[in-house]
Structure 1
Amino acid sequence: MNPIAPFYTLAYADSELIFVTHSGRPALFYWGPKLDLLMHSFEQLAAEQHSEPPALPPMPSNVSLCPLLGDGFFGHPGLQLHRHGLAWDAAPKLVMVEKDDDTLGFASRCDQHDLELHHYIKVCAAGVISFSTEVINLANDPLFINHCAAATLSVPEDFNHLMTFHGRWGREFQTYRHQHRHGTFTLENRTGRTSHDQSPFMIVHESGCNENQGKAYGFHLGWSGNYQLRKEALAIGQNVVQLGELLMPGEVILERGETYRSPAMYASFSQTGLNGLSQQYHRYVREELKKRVPISSKPVHFNTWEALYFDHSVPRLLDLVERAAAVGVERFVLDDGWFKGRNNDLSGLGDWEPDPIKYPNGLGPLIDRVEALGMEFGLWVEPEMVSPDSDLYRAHPDWALQPSFTEPTLARNQLVLDMSRREVQEAAFQSLQRLLTQYRIAYLKWDMNRVIHQPSDTCGRAKVSLYVKAVYALLERLRKAFPTVVIESCSSGGGRADFGILHHTDRIWPSDSNDAIDRLGIQNGFSYLFPSAVMGSHVGPKKCHLTGRELPMELRAGVAMLGHMGIECDLSTLEETDLGVLKSAVKVYKDWRWLTMQGDFFRLTVEDYESACQFVSPDQSQSLVSYALLDSPARILARRLHLVGLSELKRYVLRLVWPQDAALQAQCARLSRTALSGKSLMSRGFDLPQLLPCSIVMFSITAIDDVH
């Protein structure tokens, strides 16, 4: 066994992490731009490891990856455990380190209390670093785990600005900024899913950091259950971030030889502002998804929900199929209402076979017509749920999660199945397998329409952690059996959006709101962590059923083009003018999805009554910029919009690609006749046309030659 070195480094691109081991506990010493290691002697590193504050015991200057109560750490411990009230003061010491080019593993052992602690760190694609922690029980007595963070990391003391993401159903991913200098900032989620209320993602940055400059760290817990995020500014001067699963009492009890491994935390560091941080996360996600579904394969959807709701009939559906194909749709998705007894949200969940009254010949004739018109077929399912009024529940009422002392409480008229039970998971798999074997289904919209507020089995044991892992296992089993089926994660909109679920799915539905104005804010917040390639974005009805707001087709379609485009309105009721606009939008999306799905994404800095973003190709030869005016502007003259991400050494020509309105095209014709340098477009910008509120414009920016 090699001796343990005083420090270890993980380097990537222009950054590096340095971990120190002098105290017998691995700790993050530094994370930032690459340093000259020759300037740091072992003696210097050792001298910086301990301090002795007044009236306090000596303590390491660097907080360990897992600070413990027994260490005298005054912040939140990274690990809380006990054996029937004893062994809370476990103190594992580092015994082994394993390292290769992009991974680092620290193994520690506590002989007094017979347990091991392992930390796993990996440099993933695009400078995203994953951290996780594992506990192993080596004793005969059970080990109760109350808390085990993925990691506890120190950040520089002057990084006291926070950005977090909050919201509600229909208005997810709203951005909030905080200044945090003292005490503890905590976010906790107990909904049993990622939640609409907040996201397991926070950004910590220095003063003056903005979208395009400054240093920032991102911290995301890839977990679809309960969690806690914490930033602590301790009085002794330590600035600490900690993320982990939020465990309920008794959720994790380890018998001898059993292990608990935390969900992974995905952290990243940017020297180029918040856009740079987002782009690193985006590249990581795209790299992961390339293993399954080509990013360029993002067909235009038609989803039946807001056209039909539960009112299904084969003739009406066949009419929608014809109309969808004529518009240019490439995937037709049959949403809720297709299965046995499902005439409203009071019944049917769990009985996953076509309703014999609505579909007397099954789904086959509908699928045949969909495919004959050149489209794929997709289907909505909610396999984790059961309706009390269903054959499944009447046969197996004990399969639902429920409190041990009272009747379960319904939410959206449904209960949650205990997916951790092998027979429940097997029944769910068999139902899905029958559907996917009997019918040619290319896509599943996997929904989860309620929180888990009574996460108990019939014995009274809390099961959120086991439940989430069981859902992951079911998805993975389904993927192996049907590797070409594309799966979307939906949870009444954006209630289950995180890297944990995204490792098993291909697309996220960010919100049930198709209101284009609200969607711009939702999609803006979503973009800090997720790329547009996994963001479902649909053209809703003229009058949004959530907000009652009526918006023009040009805006609704333009906003949908910024993500994975779909349509979710009754095509049979569209006026001919709107239908023509929609057809044009579908063509524009198809022309540019190679860039919007794979290019670098930038948020542009504008006023609150505006929204703007930009996509840039890797070679900087092509770009697409979108600008929306949401309300009456403060200025009389149109805005001058400053671009980003272009090459200063190239000349570009701008062309209005959306909307295809003759008057606007005439206003913008001058742009296509004048070549402007990238430096000019980024420093001086270009003048937008005069717009009315609730308008959107998109411009292509094409390099024609180099600046001479």
Structure 2
Amino acid sequence: MIQTWRIDTPEQTLVLAATDAKLARVVYWGPVLAQGTDLGVLANASALDVAAGMLDENPELSICPEASQSFPGQAGLVVFDTTGAQIHPKFRQTASDQEGACLHLTYADEVHGLTYVATFTASADTNMIVAQASLTSQAPVRLHWLAAPVMPASQAASHMIDYAGRWCGEFQEVKTLWSAGIRLRENLTGRTGHEHFPALVVPELDGTYTRGGAHAFHYGWSGGHRMVAEELSDGRRQVQFGAASGIEKTAGTTFETAQLYLTYSELGINGCAVAFQRHARKHIVTFPDPNRPRPVHYNCWESVYFDHNVPELQDIATRAAALGAERFVLDDGWFGTRDDDTRALSEWTVDARKYPDGLNPLIDHIHAQGMSFGIWFEPEMINPVSTVYDAHPEWVLGDTDQILGRNQMVLNMALPEVRDFLFGHIAAILRTFDVDYIKWDHNRVLPQPDAAQTRGTYLLLDQLRAAFPKVEIESCASGGGRIDFGILQRTQRVWLSDSNDALERARIQHSASMFLPASVTGSHVGPRHCHTSGRVHSMEFRGWIAAQRHMGFEMDPRELTNEEAKTLTEITAWWKAERAWLMQADILRLDSLDPSVLAELHLAQDAQIFAVFANKIDSSLQTLPRPLRLTGLDADALYQITLENRDAQNRLSRGPAVLKLHNVTLSGQYLMHQGLNLPWSFPNQTWVIKGLRQP
């Protein structure tokens, strides 16, 4: 007997089938099927042949592949009883419930007292399917590995794309050819991590940003993950995502994966990226005031570091506001006896030496400049040199002789007394002062991965948000070390990287747009001399790179020349004028014909306006720029094209490129097939092109 289920969004269909009450398997995941499709016939059509030298049947690649069924690849569940003996479940269906966009499948192994539940929920408005698995046991068991519902990977794909990185070098795309065996990523740092972003993209037939089919996955968990992309000897492929193996430290009776976000698009990798961006905006991130325009940030870190002086900070605030800043964020160094990074973490009281009258004189001045006030915390961390450590060394996670990270250790967030302590001190600051924003940092990896640590942090964030619903929170972890949909369900902004180098930022932002909309992606104009790379970039380049996401400044405004201040003020004013649609736009990466040009098209939700940011990141091999093909436009419509920063052209650019001279009206078909001829420029230059659809 065959049972079938289908889940649809406007751009994809997922079909599952099961035989004789066994675990369901995915028999189709791709473009939308006709509503009259006979799913039983489809399930039968998916059956594979059996050849010599094989088992007499093909062990099923189910949503939780079982070793007990002679499955030759990685099992979806690895569990032990309390004596250490491994359990090999054999599940059979006990219930299925499909109501609207949600499907629940329940299975039991009566011999071992286990119940497995898989849930699939479709979001029609974002083209996203969200999958999750849970395991319950009648007796305590030790969980080593539980995958979210396991998906097949397309055999039409030649390669896969996942993400590596490092501090100041996040979201590095890694392309790996499919071959027999396993592509395994396991993040044991205890946080999402710079090193292994929890995602995978599988383009079909060498699809690109703008063409071809693609499947994409993201695991929304902040505590370290495991990804398995496996090709079996018979050619079948599977993709598994779950929390890092072995991070459930104690036996239990109830376990649950995080949510696995799944999408397919025929519109190239961009189609998947748009699904993630829209899902983040509509269903993941909740803003305290959704109608408030995203404010231009000013963060004082790279201007004063730990050297806080109220008159000096007031002067900086005045200058930042004059440049266009709308929120002032006071970074590390305002509390305890915090004069450097060796001491006082966890002493969340205002430093009376630096702020003898408290924070209000600074906050009042910031408000007088028309800006709101934000403040930095690093709640999960503690310095061994601190009064809190002296009083409670037992609050530390891990051994006392562990390797420190930035001179700090980690508080054990699984302990209720730790969370109570932190909530009390953070709440005291939020109640005493007019704070509308927290920069929440996390500057070291854990001494050992532990799922309870992540759950404890989630609990604290949830408690604070419930108590202070008007306060916005940014997730920062040495820059981009904790970015995922799990943390974004509790925060409203991410600090993408500690690198304010505009050249590096251009690449990091470009890759991260696969999953992150502009509205949550912080990007700041850094100092003229970048503190993390040593490079020097023009203000125009720094400004336009920041204007491609949620814009801010993070440098000492006292260093600016009059010309730099003028340029930054003008770019900021442009961003403010466009942000209402720009922060809700879809980011479409362009298939650039010139590898030296990293280009994106930001398309408004109503498709009436777009902006192209063409970042020249290197010297071209040829003399002149290659045409830049656009995407996502109406082929039959006409668009008025304006080069927004026409004044930035170089004297060595001497020809009659039309964009340099005046606006031009062109069809969507021309723009997408022939493309635009950009003016010549040196590297480290951004061209900003605005398009308006004509009536």
Mapped to 1, the partners of 2:511 and 2:620 lie a distance apart of: 22
Which amino acid letter does the alignment assign opposite residue 345 of structure 1?
Answer: D
Which amino acid letter does the alignment assign opposite residue 657 of structure 1?
Answer: E
Q: Deviations over 1:562-584 (max 9, x none)?
A: 01000001001111111111111
Match of 1:40 in 2: 38
Which of 394, 402, 406 is the matching residue for 1:408?
402
- Asked if 1:543 is matched to 2:534, the reply is no
- Asked if 1:679 is matched to 2:669, the reply is yes
Shift of 1:670: 6.0
Match of 2:255 in 1: 260
Alignment of 1:111-190 (within 5 A): 111-124=110-123, 125-139=125-139, 142-190=140-188
Contact 2:527 2:555 survives alignment (8 Å)? yes
Contact 1:289 1:295 survives alignment (8 Å)? no
Distance 1:701 1:39, change over 3 A: closer
Mapped to 2, the partners of 1:486 and 1:682 lie a distance apart of: 39
Q: Deviations over 1:580-627 (max 9, x none)?
A: 111111101111212321112111122332211111123322111111
Mapped to 1, the partners of 2:433 and 2:261 lie a distance apart of: 38
Which of 427, 433, 452 is the matching residue for 1:433?
427
Distance 1:44 1:99, change over 3 A: closer
Distance 1:116 1:549, change over 3 A: same
- Asked if 1:6 is matched to 2:10, the reply is no
Which amino acid letter does the alignment assign opposite residue 10 of structure 2?
Answer: A
Shift of 1:681: 1.5
Contact 1:408 1:454 survives alignment (8 Å)? no
- Asked if 1:561 is matched to 2:547, the reply is yes
- Asked if 1:644 is matched to 2:631, the reply is yes
Match of 2:385 in 1: 389
Which amino acid letter does the alignment assign opposite residue 673 of structure 2?
Answer: S
Q: Deviations over 1:497-529 (max 9, x none)?
A: 111111111111111000011111111111111
Which of 267, 292, 304 is the matching residue for 2:287?
292
Mapped to 2, the partners of 1:297 and 1:289 lie a distance apart of: 18
Distance 1:47 1:112, change over 3 A: farther
What value does the CA root-mean-square deviation take over the aligned residues? 2.0
Which of 445, 470, 484 is the matching residue for 1:451?
445
Which of 609, 623, 633 is the matching residue for 2:596?
609
Given the two structures, how large is their TM-score scaled by the length of structure 2? 0.95
Which of 475, 487, 490 is the matching residue for 1:489?
475
Q: Deviations over 1:212-269 (max 9, x none)?
A: 1111111111111121111111012211111111132662411xxx310011111111
Shift of 1:49: 4.9
Other structure's SS at 1:95 match: strand
Mapped to 2, the partners of 1:375 and 1:107 lie a distance apart of: 53
Which amino acid letter does the alignment assign opposite residue 627 of structure 2?
Answer: R
Match of 2:106 in 1: 107
Other structure's SS at 2:606 match: coil
Which stretch has the larger CA shift, 369-378 or 291-300?
291-300
Contact 1:169 1:512 survives alignment (8 Å)? yes
Which amino acid letter does the alignment assign opposite residue 632 of structure 2?
Answer: G
Contact 1:656 1:668 survives alignment (8 Å)? no
Mapped to 1, the partners of 2:34 and 2:638 lie a distance apart of: 38
Distance 1:175 1:409, change over 3 A: same
Other structure's SS at 2:694 match: strand
Match of 1:629 in 2: 616
Match of 1:66 in 2: 64
Which of 412, 416, 427 is the matching residue for 1:422?
416
Distance 1:586 1:43, change over 3 A: closer
Mapped to 2, the partners of 1:336 and 1:39 lie a distance apart of: 60
Mapped to 1, the partners of 2:33 and 2:557 lie a distance apart of: 59
Mapped to 2, the partners of 1:295 and 1:161 lie a distance apart of: 42
Shift of 1:410: 1.2
- Asked if 1:377 is matched to 2:373, the reply is yes
Mapped to 1, the partners of 2:672 and 2:59 lie a distance apart of: 43
Mapped to 1, the partners of 2:80 and 2:528 lie a distance apart of: 58
Shift of 1:144: 1.2
Mapped to 1, the partners of 2:141 and 2:667 lie a distance apart of: 65
Mapped to 1, the partners of 2:570 and 2:622 lie a distance apart of: 31
Which amino acid letter does the alignment assign opposite residue 138 of structure 2?
Answer: L
Which amino acid letter does the alignment assign opposite residue 19 of structure 2?
Answer: H
Shift of 1:360: 0.6
Contact 2:171 2:508 survives alignment (8 Å)? yes
Match of 2:14 in 1: 17
Other structure's SS at 2:466 match: helix
Contact 2:500 2:526 survives alignment (8 Å)? yes
Mapped to 2, the partners of 1:37 and 1:591 lie a distance apart of: 45
Mapped to 2, the partners of 1:590 and 1:492 lie a distance apart of: 28
Mapped to 1, the partners of 2:61 and 2:215 lie a distance apart of: 17
Shift of 1:176: 1.8
Shift of 1:205: 1.8
Distance 1:330 1:659, change over 3 A: farther
Which of 327, 341, 347 is the matching residue for 2:343?
347
Q: Deviations over 1:169-206 (max 9, x none)?
A: 01111112121121111111111111111211111121
Distance 1:544 1:663, change over 3 A: closer
Which stretch has the larger CA shift, 510-519 or 693-702?
693-702
Contact 1:387 1:414 survives alignment (8 Å)? yes
Shift of 1:555: 0.2
Other structure's SS at 1:251 match: coil
Mapped to 2, the partners of 1:231 and 1:667 lie a distance apart of: 47
Mapped to 1, the partners of 2:296 and 2:39 lie a distance apart of: 58
- Alignment length (residue pairs): 687
Shift of 1:21: 1.6
Match of 2:26 in 1: 28
- Asked if 1:701 is matched to 2:691, the reply is yes
Distance 1:250 1:613, change over 3 A: closer
Structure 2 unaligned blocks of 5 or more: none
Shift of 1:127: 1.4
Which amino acid letter does the alignment assign opposite residue 282 of structure 2?
Answer: E
Mapped to 2, the partners of 1:677 and 1:74 lie a distance apart of: 54
Contact 1:337 1:344 survives alignment (8 Å)? yes
Mapped to 2, the partners of 1:359 and 1:659 lie a distance apart of: 47
Match of 2:678 in 1: 688
Mapped to 2, the partners of 1:320 and 1:589 lie a distance apart of: 22
Which amino acid letter does the alignment assign opposite residue 674 of structure 1?
Answer: V
Contact 2:643 2:660 survives alignment (8 Å)? no
Distance 1:156 1:61, change over 3 A: farther
- Asked if 1:324 is matched to 2:313, the reply is no
Other structure's SS at 2:147 match: strand
Shift of 1:453: 2.3
Which amino acid letter does the alignment assign opposite residue 91 of structure 1?
Answer: K
Contact 2:190 2:448 survives alignment (8 Å)? no
Match of 1:283 in 2: 278
Given the two structures, how large is their TM-score scaled by the length of structure 1? 0.93
Mapped to 2, the partners of 1:204 and 1:454 lie a distance apart of: 31
Contact 1:558 1:658 survives alignment (8 Å)? no
Other structure's SS at 2:150 match: strand
Mapped to 2, the partners of 1:387 and 1:616 lie a distance apart of: 46
Which of 635, 644, 666 is the matching residue for 1:657?
644
Distance 1:388 1:85, change over 3 A: closer
Mapped to 2, the partners of 1:441 and 1:100 lie a distance apart of: 43
Contact 2:104 2:117 survives alignment (8 Å)? yes
Mapped to 1, the partners of 2:70 and 2:284 lie a distance apart of: 43
Mapped to 1, the partners of 2:8 and 2:138 lie a distance apart of: 34
Other structure's SS at 2:414 match: coil
Contact 2:284 2:485 survives alignment (8 Å)? no
Mapped to 1, the partners of 2:472 and 2:214 lie a distance apart of: 34
Mapped to 1, the partners of 2:72 and 2:171 lie a distance apart of: 32
